[in-house]
Structure 1
Amino acid sequence: MEATKQAITISSTIQQPAAKVWEFWNAPEHITQWCAASDDWHAPKASSDLRPGGAFSTTMAAKDGSFSFDFGGIFDVVEPHSRIEYTLGDGRKVKINFTEANGQTEVVETFDPEDTNPEDMQRAGWQAILDNFKKYAESK
C-alpha cells in the first residue's frame, strides 16, 4: 500500500499590508513580474478570474525559449485579502492564507505534492517563487 503524501507548506512575511499583497498576488499584470523560481525563467502570460469557479493560468517559460508550461486551475475559495484555495488541473489542492499584522502580511501556502519530482525539490521551487514574490512586492 502506498503511503499518503503529506502536503507541503511554505511561507514568507511581506512588508506590505494585506490589500497590497493581495493585489500583487492576483492581478495578471503583477503575476507576470514575479512568478518565476529563478532569473532564467519568467511568466510571459497570466490570466485570473478571481472568484469561486473561476479559472486561472500562468505560462512559465525559460527565457531562452527552450521550455514552457502552463500552471493553472480553478478557484474553490476566494476570501479577499485573507484566503484562496484552488484545484490544479491535475487535481492537487492548494491553500494560501494571507494574515496581516502591524502593516505586514504573512503568506502561507500549502500544496499537495506531485509525483514526478522529489518533495524537497518541490518545496524549494515553490519557496523560490514565493521569495521572488516577496522581493517584487516589497519593491513597490
Structure 2
Amino acid sequence: MSTEQTTAADGFSYTLTRALASPAAKVWQAWTTPEQYARWANADAGSVEMDVRPGGAWKATMVTPDGGRFPLTGSYLEVAENRRLVVGMDVPGKPEPLAMTMELAEQDGHHTQIVLHQTCDTAEERDMAEQGSTMLLDGLSAFLTDEASN
C-alpha cells in the first residue's frame, strides 16, 4: 500500500492506494452492499443502511477493537458504479459533510487498484481519518481474499 500526505492551502489531505486481487465489480459490491460492508468494516450487523445514489443516505454503527460503538451517518455525493464513490460523512458541529473519495481502476479483469482520498481541516483530523481508512482497506483486503478462497 502506498500512502501520501499533503498540506494544501485549503486543508490537510491523505491518499491511500492499494492493489486488490479482485475485479472492480466485486470491490464495488463489497463497499456498497450493507451485509458485505458490515462484515469487513467492523460495523454492527444490521446497523448498516445504504441508498447508493447521489443524494442517498447511509448509516452504520462502527465497533472499535475495544468494543466501543460509534454511530455514523452521511450521504452519497457522487456515484459512478464500479469506478468512483464520493461519500459524505456527517460531523457534529460542521455545516458540510466531510467527503471521502474512493476510486477503482480495474487492471486486467482480475485486479483492481483502489484509491481513497480525503481532505480534512486539521492535521489531527487527517491523521485520524487516515488511520480509519487504513483499517477499512485492511478489512476490505482480508474480506476479498476470504471470498476468493471460498
Query: Scaled by the length of structure 1, what TM-score is found?
Result: 0.82
TM-superposition CA deviations, 1:17-63 (whole Å, max 9, x none): 01111111110000111103xxxxx4332110000110011110246
TM-score by length of 2: 0.77
The size of the alignment, in residue pairs, is 132
1:138 aligns with 2:139: no
Correspondence 1:89 to 2:95: no
Counterparts of 1:1-140 in structure 2, within 5 Å, are 4-36=10-42, 42-44=43-45, 45-62=47-64, 65=67, 67-90=68-91, 91-102=97-108, 103-113=110-120, 115=122, 117=124, 119-140=126-147
The answer to whether the Cα contact below 8 Å between 1:49 and 1:55 also exists between their aligned partners in 2 is yes
Judged with a 3 Å threshold, the aligned counterparts in structure 2 of structure 1 residues 63 and 108 are, in CA distance, closer, same or farther, namely closer
Tell me what 1:39 maps to.
Answer: none
In structure 1, the gaps of 5 or more residues are 37-41
Q: Which structure 2 residue ranges, 5 or more long, are not aligned?
A: 1-8, 92-96
Supply the RMSD in Å over aligned alpha carbons: 2.1
- SS, match of residue 128 in structure 1: helix
CA contact (8 A) 2:12 2:123 kept: no
Using CA pairs under 8 Å that are at least 6 residues apart, name the structure with larger relative contact order, 1 or 2: 1
